[in-house]
């Protein structure tokens, strides 16, 4: 595919019908009210020269290149800032405007290095293009006068350079940072000739507030802000549209290549989830895909203490099949199973669960979503009837009040976080429910109306208290409830009990009752109320209860079934939604249909030509327990690092080391691979063809940019293992796997690669009633018919602070790193975050004699680790916080096995701990916990 150049219409689109008709250079065009003359001209196929305008930003009117003449109007107005009017007659090319434009260009060029032939932007420079467009043939002012040509480059950012000598002071970068990203890191300093772009007061980009999202680089019309990769490798010559493999936002990118070398990832304007925006991970952190640490040959060994032996694919696949069959013959099908990965494509996840059910002969398949969003699936299914978020991301543009619970969108879901901030700057109100003062609480031009800094583990008490206020003060939407819901009377009786009042729960949550009352009133009465939540909701012993509590609150206030409302899980990994949709739970077949349902099972039995067991298989924690007991002996781990990501690492390692066969498929020899007998090299997202489904149920295409470096597609490896075990599985292309999924999964009935290529993306359900998908769910009816109110009594977690462990640890993510860090640690993103630190309130630190940067021990009843302290008043007293991106820190060494009552999702967010100054010793042994454990076994 050649390089895709999207049309730039100069100014943003306006909503509404095309009711305004005008004539541009003799061509008739009709556009919505408020559209600029520039955009109308572009829609008529006429490009007006421009430099300061681009359609991702509001018009600014500074460069004066886009002047036009309009019949009946004096002068030469700027087409970017002039709105259309009915009957307008516009002329974009007249001798007068041509002269004016040429003058403007002369001024720009007289203060611009004339090194076009050696410039990194040669061929992709709007200044160069405009010089051609206006027919510039001479520069009368010469180049000897005052200029900026000697300005010093800022090369501090690992991914892009800033060369002020090439800057034309168009402000596009500043406006991109303000309007799109919402970081406000850049300013134009000085006036007139002295105007210059500055990242903070004389700071470098790296020292500024910049979060390296790349929006300014994208917006810059010259080589002033330029990707280092383009400077080094040259301009790309072709592009492939694909999907980011990091978080659940699911941003679309153009992977731009030169030959077969990836030069840069450019956010795709037509991407349904991101609409042209990006974050530092998707935009820049792709270097891990070609990192030398990648293992490209299959390897086997008899014992985990043996050295690895490189083997052919045939031998590796044969070994897996043979040893799985041996275990099955000796211990039964219940003794083998697999864990699927939310990083993999839908097609890969589907074939893994099919392999387990049809070839292994058990239902022992679980997904890493078990440890993050399984309560979402359960809670939303119970109340709404569908295990997925209710809205598309665009919906937030219509929200009047946004409640963010247990999520940190600016770090965890940055592109959606920026969109949310745009809406907040437009005036939507914000409620944040989180122990920690996340960035959203107060950031440039945003201030939360209410921040409820609850004690970890008391979410349900807070949501019940808010609902209590809604019920007691009659703030509920009686019409909505009467028409659309069931169980309301019983729920009101429950929620109105005195123990659910804000005053009663204040001693439990630590949040003043008045604040809870005020927040509840705001959510219930401000118009469209939207709830967004993350793992701070689900990773609790009452995760599922909390999801139902939020659903109750939304239904009571009528905040379901239209734009601007809803209950929206912000999914962690790129394909958490998809891995759940694909039936990789031990109790559910694709489409969330219970394995015990005879009719459903028969559909799959007929298609797969096999008999399926009606009883659910083992969940991940049950697999570990059974492994230690000796009844579960063979595990296929597809693209997950369970030795690092699952709670109570010691227990996980004990389980892994008890098994006869551990097969790991991954890009790198991760911590889990220390315990593997067979290692199967995986493919990076750049090498895959398939689909990911993001947090808004949007199925996006993933397209291979290059061939698998290991020589094998992951879906094909799985099929070959199944075949070698005696169950033939064969597809020619992942599109055939999607066709099979669509044939047996009603919510995917209308999905195919062909349809995805036509529409760009599809939000399921997609069937004959919704052939283009469903952006907003439960519009007329809930999926289950009536929305169901569920009782949600608050039950305190067993994990309490004690004299021995007086603090509560909670965990989260940081923007630059991702999950267990296997990818981002192998990129220049380490420049922002080299280690996990423990955030601790100044008082708690002082009590322990800890100062900023000290090495501390973090101990819980299950384990102990060491890391550096960061004194932070973002934390309330009594609560400490860390991330889990580095194996050396091993945050999960201390997390316990407490879990959600309904789904076993671990209670990562509440661990009673003690923190103390560490005795001096090397911080972060070179290898992680698994390494240490493995060497113990060797010793």
Residues interacting with ligand FES, by CB under 6 A?
50-53, 61-66, 78, 80
Angstrom distance (rounded) from CA 482 to CA 538: 29
Burial of residue 339, with CB atoms counted within 10 A of its CB: 0-12 exposed, 13-18 middle, 19 or more buried: buried
Binding site partner of 50, from ligand SF4, ligand FES, none, Cβ cut-off 5-8 A by kind: ligand FES
- Using an 8 Å Cβ cutoff, are 550 and 531 in contact? yes
Binding site partner of 51, from ligand FES, ligand SF4, none, Cβ cut-off 5-8 A by kind: ligand FES
Is 171 a binder of ligand SF4 (CB under 6 A)? yes
Nearer to ligand FES, 218 or 774 (CB): 218
Angstrom distance (rounded) from CA 347 to CA 230: 33
Min separation Cβ 616 and ligand SF4, Å: 32
Min separation Cβ 536 and ligand SF4, Å: 18
Min separation Cβ 761 and ligand SF4, Å: 13
Is 225 a binder of ligand SF4 (CB under 6 A)? yes
- Using an 8 Å Cβ cutoff, are 600 and 593 in contact? yes
Task: Write the CA distances from 897 to 138, 210, 370, 864, integer angstroms.
Answer: 74, 38, 13, 15
CA angle 717, 636, 378 (to 5 degrees): 110
Is 220 a binder of ligand SF4 (CB under 6 A)? yes
Min separation Cβ 384 and ligand FES, Å: 47
Binding site partner of 61, from ligand FES, ligand SF4, none, Cβ cut-off 5-8 A by kind: ligand FES
Is 214 a binder of ligand SF4 (CB under 6 A)? yes
Burial of residue 629, with CB atoms counted within 10 A of its CB: 0-12 exposed, 13-18 middle, 19 or more buried: exposed
Is 183 a binder of ligand SF4 (CB under 6 A)? yes
Options 213, 263, 356, 741; binder of ligand SF4; rule CB under 6 A: 213
**Range 108-132 burial, b when 16+ CB lie within 10 A, else e:** bbbbbbeeeeebbbeebbbbbbbbe
In the three-class reduction of DSSP (H, G, I as helix; E, B as strand; rest coil), residue 162 is classed as: strand
Q: Which residues contact 769 (CB under 8 A, 6 or more apart)?
A: none
Q: Which of 108, 422, 441 is nearest to 277 (CA)?
A: 422
Is 112 a binder of ligand SF4 (CB under 6 A)? no
Min separation Cβ 448 and ligand FES, Å: 36
Binding site partner of 251, from ligand FES, ligand SF4, none, Cβ cut-off 5-8 A by kind: ligand SF4
SS (H, E, C) 312-373: CHHHHHHHHHHHHHHHHHHHCHHHEEEEECCCCCHHHHHHHHHHHHHHHCCCCEEEHHHHCC
Nearer to ligand FES, 57 or 808 (CB): 57
Angstrom distance (rounded) from CA 155 to CA 172: 20
Nearer to ligand FES, 65 or 659 (CB): 65
Nearer to ligand FES, 168 or 463 (CB): 168
Min separation Cβ 194 and ligand SF4, Å: 14
Is 419 a binder of ligand SF4 (CB under 6 A)? no
Min separation Cβ 407 and ligand SF4, Å: 13
Beta strands in 683-775 (DSSP E): 690-693, 698-702, 761-763
Helix, strand and coil content of the chain, in percent to the nearest 5, comes to: 35, 20, 50
Nearer to ligand FES, 14 or 64 (CB): 64
Backbone torsion region of residue 423, taken as left when φ is above 0, otherwise alpha when ψ lies between -120 and 50, otherwise beta: alpha
Binding site partner of 894, from ligand FES, ligand SF4, none, Cβ cut-off 5-8 A by kind: none
Options 40, 90, 104, 215; binder of ligand SF4; rule CB under 6 A: 215
Binding site partner of 247, from ligand FES, ligand SF4, none, Cβ cut-off 5-8 A by kind: ligand SF4
In the three-class reduction of DSSP (H, G, I as helix; E, B as strand; rest coil), residue 235 is classed as: coil
Burial of residue 518, with CB atoms counted within 10 A of its CB: 0-12 exposed, 13-18 middle, 19 or more buried: middle
Is 572 a binder of ligand SF4 (CB under 6 A)? no
- Using an 8 Å Cβ cutoff, are 259 and 155 in contact? no
Nearer to ligand FES, 39 or 254 (CB): 39
Binding site partner of 215, from ligand FES, ligand SF4, none, Cβ cut-off 5-8 A by kind: ligand SF4
Angstrom distance (rounded) from CA 475 to CA 47: 53
Q: Identify residues 865-894 at the interface with ligand SF4 (CB under 6 A).
A: none
Min separation Cβ 426 and ligand SF4, Å: 19
- Report how many residues bind ligand SF4 under the rule CB under 6 A: 42
Instruction: Choose the binding region for ligand SF4 from 7-15, 172-180, 604-612, 675-683 (rule: CB under 6 A).
Output: 172-180
Binding mask 56-85 for ligand SF4 (x = CB under 6 A): ------------------------------
Nearer to ligand SF4, 156 or 631 (CB): 156
Min separation Cβ 236 and ligand SF4, Å: 18
Q: At what angle do helices 502-509 and 459-472 cross, to 10 degrees?
A: 170
Q: Which of 343, 454, 582 is nearest to 879 (CA)?
A: 454
- Using an 8 Å Cβ cutoff, are 233 and 299 in contact? no
Q: Identify residues 228-287 at the interface with ligand SF4 (CB under 6 A).
A: 244, 246-247, 249-251, 274, 278-279, 281-282
- Using an 8 Å Cβ cutoff, are 869 and 835 in contact? no
Min separation Cβ 220 and ligand SF4, Å: 3
Options 57, 67, 97, 185; binder of ligand SF4; rule CB under 6 A: 185
Binding site partner of 63, from ligand FES, ligand SF4, none, Cβ cut-off 5-8 A by kind: ligand FES
Tokens found for residue 692: 């990911």
Nearer to ligand FES, 130 or 673 (CB): 130
Chain residue at closest Cβ approach to ligand SF4: 282
Min separation Cβ 108 and ligand SF4, Å: 10
H helices present in 426-534, as ranges: 459-472, 478-484, 488-495, 502-509, 513-525
Nearer to ligand FES, 25 or 209 (CB): 25
Options 84, 168, 333, 546; binder of ligand SF4; rule CB under 6 A: 168
Q: What is the dihedral of CA 627, 541, 864, 456, to 10 degrees?
A: 170
Task: Provide the CA 563 distance to its chain's centre, in angstroms.
Answer: 21
Binding site partner of 65, from ligand SF4, ligand FES, none, Cβ cut-off 5-8 A by kind: ligand FES
Min separation Cβ 262 and ligand SF4, Å: 15
Nearer to ligand SF4, 125 or 751 (CB): 125
Which phi and psi (to 5°) does residue 244 adopt? -60, 140
Options 176, 295, 316, 729; binder of ligand SF4; rule CB under 6 A: 176
Tokens found for residue 217: 């680089």
Q: ω before 765 within 30° of 0 (cis)?
A: yes
Q: Which residues bind ligand SF4 (CB under 6 A)?
A: 167-173, 176-177, 181, 183, 185-186, 197, 199, 210-216, 219-222, 224-225, 244, 246-247, 249-251, 274, 278-279, 281-282, 413-415
């Amino acid at each position: 595919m050649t390089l895709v150049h999207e049309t730039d219409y100069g100014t943003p689109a306006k909503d509404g019908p095309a009711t305004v008709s005008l004539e541009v250079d003799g061509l008739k065009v009709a556009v919505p009210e408020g559209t600029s003359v520039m955009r109308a001209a572009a829609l008529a196929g006429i490009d007006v020269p421009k430099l300061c305008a681009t359609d991702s930003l509001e018009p600014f009117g500074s460069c004066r290149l886009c002047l036009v003449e309009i019949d009946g109007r004096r002068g030469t107005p700027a087409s970017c800032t002039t709105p259309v009017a009915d009957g307008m007659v516009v002329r974009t090319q007249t001798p007068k405007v041509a002269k004016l434009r040429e003058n403007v260009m002369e001024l720009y060029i007289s203060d611009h290095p004339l090194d076009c032939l050696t410039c990194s932007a040669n061929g992709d420079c709007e200044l160069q293009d405009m010089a051609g467009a206006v027919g510039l043939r001479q520069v009368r002012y010469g180049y000897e006068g005052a200029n900026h040509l000697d300005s010093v480059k800022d090369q501090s950012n690992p991914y892009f350079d800033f060369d002020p000598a090439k800057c034309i002071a168009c402000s596009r970068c500043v406006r991109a940072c303000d309007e799109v990203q919402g970081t406000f890191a850049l300013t134009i300093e000085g006036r007139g000739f002295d105007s210059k772009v500055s990242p903070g007061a004389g700071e470098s980009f790296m020292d500024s507030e910049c979060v390296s999202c790349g929006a300014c680089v994208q917006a810059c019309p010259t080589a002033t802000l330029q990707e280092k990769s383009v400077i080094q490798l040259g301009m790309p010559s072709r592009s492939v549209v694909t999907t980011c493999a990091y978080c659940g936002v699911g941003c679309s990118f153009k992977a731009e290549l030169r030959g077969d070398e990836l030069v840069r990832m450019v956010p795709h304007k037509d991407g349904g989830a991101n609409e042209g925006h990006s974050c530092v991970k998707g935009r820049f952190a792709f270097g891990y895909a070609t990192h030398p640490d990648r293992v490209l040959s299959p390897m086997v060994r008899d014992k985990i203490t043996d050295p690895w032996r490189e083997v052919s694919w045939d031998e590796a696949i044969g070994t897996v099949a043979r040893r799985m069959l041996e275990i099955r013959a000796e211990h039964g099908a219940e003794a083998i199973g697999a864990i699927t990965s939310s990083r993999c494509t839908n097609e890969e996840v589907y074939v893994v669960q099919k392999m387990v059910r049809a070839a292994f002969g058990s239902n022992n398949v679980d997904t890493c979503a078990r440890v993050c969003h399984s309560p979402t699936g359960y809670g939303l299914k119970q109340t709404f009837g569908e295990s997925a978020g209710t809205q598309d991301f665009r919906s937030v543009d219509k929200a009047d009040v946004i409640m963010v619970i247990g999520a940190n969108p600016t770090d965890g879901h940055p592109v959606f976080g920026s969109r949310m901030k745009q809406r907040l700057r437009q005036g939507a109100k914000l409620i944040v429910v989180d122990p920690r003062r996340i960035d959203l609480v107060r950031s440039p031009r945003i201030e939360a109306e209410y921040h409820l800094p609850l004690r970890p583990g008391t979410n349900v008490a807070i949501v019940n208290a808010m609902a209590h206020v809604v019920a007691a003060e009659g703030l509920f939407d009686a019409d909505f409830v009467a028409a659309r819901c069931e169980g309301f009377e019983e729920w009101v009786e429950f929620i109105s009990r005195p123990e659910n009042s804000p005053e009663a729960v204040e001693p439990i949550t630590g949040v003043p009752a008045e604040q809870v009352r005020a927040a509840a009133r705001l959510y219930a009465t401000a118009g469209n109320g939207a709830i967004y939540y993350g793992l701070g909701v689900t990773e609790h012993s009452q995760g599922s209860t909390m999801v139902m509590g939020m659903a109750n609150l939304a239904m009571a206030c009528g905040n379901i079934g239209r734009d601007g409302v809803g209950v929206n899980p912000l999914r962690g990994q790129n394909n958490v939604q998809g891995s759940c949709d694909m039936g990789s739970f031990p109790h559910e077949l694709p489409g969330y249909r219970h394995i015990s349902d005879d009719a459903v099972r028969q559909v799959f039995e007929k298609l797969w030509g096999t008999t399926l067991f009606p009883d659910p298989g083992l969940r991940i924690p049950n697999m570990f327990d059974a492994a230690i007991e000796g009844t579960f002996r063979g595990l296929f781990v597809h693209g997950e690092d369970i030795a690092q990501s699952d709670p109570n690492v010691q227990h996980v390692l004990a389980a892994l080391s008890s098994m006869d066969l551990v097969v790991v498929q991954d890009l790198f020899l991760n911590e889990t691979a220390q315990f593997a007998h067979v290692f199967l090299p995986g493919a990076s997202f750049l090498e895959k063809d398939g689909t990911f489904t993001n947090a808004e149920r949007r199925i996006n295409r993933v397209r291979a940019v290059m061939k698998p470096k290991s020589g094998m597609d992951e879906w094909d490896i799985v099929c070959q293992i199944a075949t070698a075990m005696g169950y033939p599985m064969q597809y020619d292309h992942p599109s055939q796997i999607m066709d099979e999924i669509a044939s047996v999964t009603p919510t995917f009935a209308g999905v195919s690669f062909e349809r995805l290529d036509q529409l760009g993306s599809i939000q399921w359900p997609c069937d004959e009633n919704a052939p283009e998908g469903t952006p907003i769910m439960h519009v007329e009816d809930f999926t289950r018919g009536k929305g169901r109110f569920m009782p949600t009594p608050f039950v305190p977690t067993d994990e309490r602070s004690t004299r021995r462990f007086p603090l509560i640890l909670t965990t989260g993510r940081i923007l630059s790193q991702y999950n267990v860090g296997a990818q981002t640690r192998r990129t220049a993103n380490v420049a922002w975050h080299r280690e996990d630190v423990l955030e601790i309130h100044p008082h708690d630190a002082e009590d322990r004699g800890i100062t900023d940067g000290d090495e501390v021990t973090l101990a819980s009843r299950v384990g102990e680790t060491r890391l550096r302290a960061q004194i932070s008043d973002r934390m309330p007293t009594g609560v400490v916080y860390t991330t889990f991106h580095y194996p050396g820190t091993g945050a999960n060494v201390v997390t316990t096995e407490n879990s959600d009552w309904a789904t076993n999702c671990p209670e990562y967010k509440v661990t009673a701990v003690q923190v103390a100054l560490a005795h001096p010793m090397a911080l972060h042994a070179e290898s992680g916990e698994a390494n240490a454990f493995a060497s113990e076994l060797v010793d």
